[in-house]
Structure 1
Amino acid sequence: MSNALRKLWEEYVRPILQRPKRLQVAALCYRTSKGGKKVLLVTSRGTGRWIIPKGWPMDGKNAPEAAMQEAWEEAGVREGQIDGKAIGCYAYNKELKTGLRVPVETLVYKVEVSETRDDFPEAGERERRWVTPEQASNMVREPQLQALFREM
């Protein structure tokens, strides 16, 4: 590739093709009992892989409130104490309904769960499971999310 063509690619074409990452919010739900700390994972509706409850920001809610709403809708977390500050983030590529894959940056908020319900909005679409942070780090795919579980 000539220098002029490379410069054209770098300055004009590549920036058009590289879109900024979209933002999601997630709830890392946990509880502590005599058996130790457990975290809550749910299955993705699309792929069946293990994830934490997450979704897009919502009008009228700040990021932690939106994360709590996702924890309710996807995992049945009815009550919990959420940290107002994200404990970290992870990146992944989300496949949209159109088939397009987009890069997503996901802010993670810790939620100490005090109540769950079995009749949550997506109960028939997802499986949920309480596991140790170590087990969770082996069940999820995203390296940055695995690291967040290992730090618990």
Structure 2
Amino acid sequence: MTILQVGALPVRKSRGGFEILLISSRETGRWVIPKGWPSKRLSDPDAAAREAKQEAGVTGKISRVPVGSYRYRKKTVEHIRVLTVTCYVLWVKKERKRWREQDQRTRVWFSQEDAVKKVREPGLKILIASLEVRPKS
């Protein structure tokens, strides 16, 4: 059984093109993107934007079309599950000083190259490495 999640790839303009915002995971502290469960009330892109707001304190314009997906393993007490995360680019317009999970996570902007080095999931590395976005004017 495939378990689906939605994720946001928060980006902003930089001198070299764009940067990607990564956050620390709550359990292991590894670098990840904001992600969570789809919603019955929200479209998948809007649910991904909600996760970015809750987990990273950022808001902006979310893409309506996914840029890709990746899989990762989530360990629970009982077993290991494989989850598939569908990802949407979020052009960050605002970074909040306070947000829901600020005491549980760290957020850091990275160049595309550094973000690839920081994340652990092979599929997420590939997704970030292949990401081509044009800064919104």
**What TM-score do the two structures reach when normalised by structure 2?**
0.90
More strand by share: 2
Q: 1:62-100 CA deviation, whole Å, 9 max, x = no partner?
A: 10010000000000013x11110110000011123x442
Residue aligning to 1:46: 27
Answer 1 or 2: higher relative contact order, Cα 8 Å, separation at least 6.
2
Runs of 4+ in 1 over 3 A off after TM superposition: none
Structure 1, gaps ≥5 residues long: 1-19
Work out whether 1:58 is the aligned partner of 2:39.
Answer: yes
SS at match of 1:66: helix
2:126 matched to which residue of 1?
Answer: 147
Name the larger-Rg structure: 1
| Partner SS, residue 65 of structure 1 | helix
SS of structure 2 residue aligned to 1:147: helix
Across the aligned residues of Structure 1 and Structure 2, the Cα RMSD in angstroms comes to 1.2
Q: Which residue of 1 aligns with 2:103?
A: 124
Residues 1:22 and 2:3 are matched in the alignment = yes
Unaligned runs of 5+ in 2: 132-137
- Greater share of residues in helix: 1
How many residue pairs were aligned? 131
**Secondary structure at 2:123's aligned position in 1?**
helix
Does the alignment pair 1:83 with 2:63? yes
- Aligned amino acid, residue 42 of structure 2: K
Partner of 1:68: 49
| TM-score (normalised: structure 1) | 0.82
Match 1:105 to one of 84, 107, 128: 84
**Distance of 1:59 and 1:109 partners within structure 2:** 18
Shift in Å, 1:33: 2.8
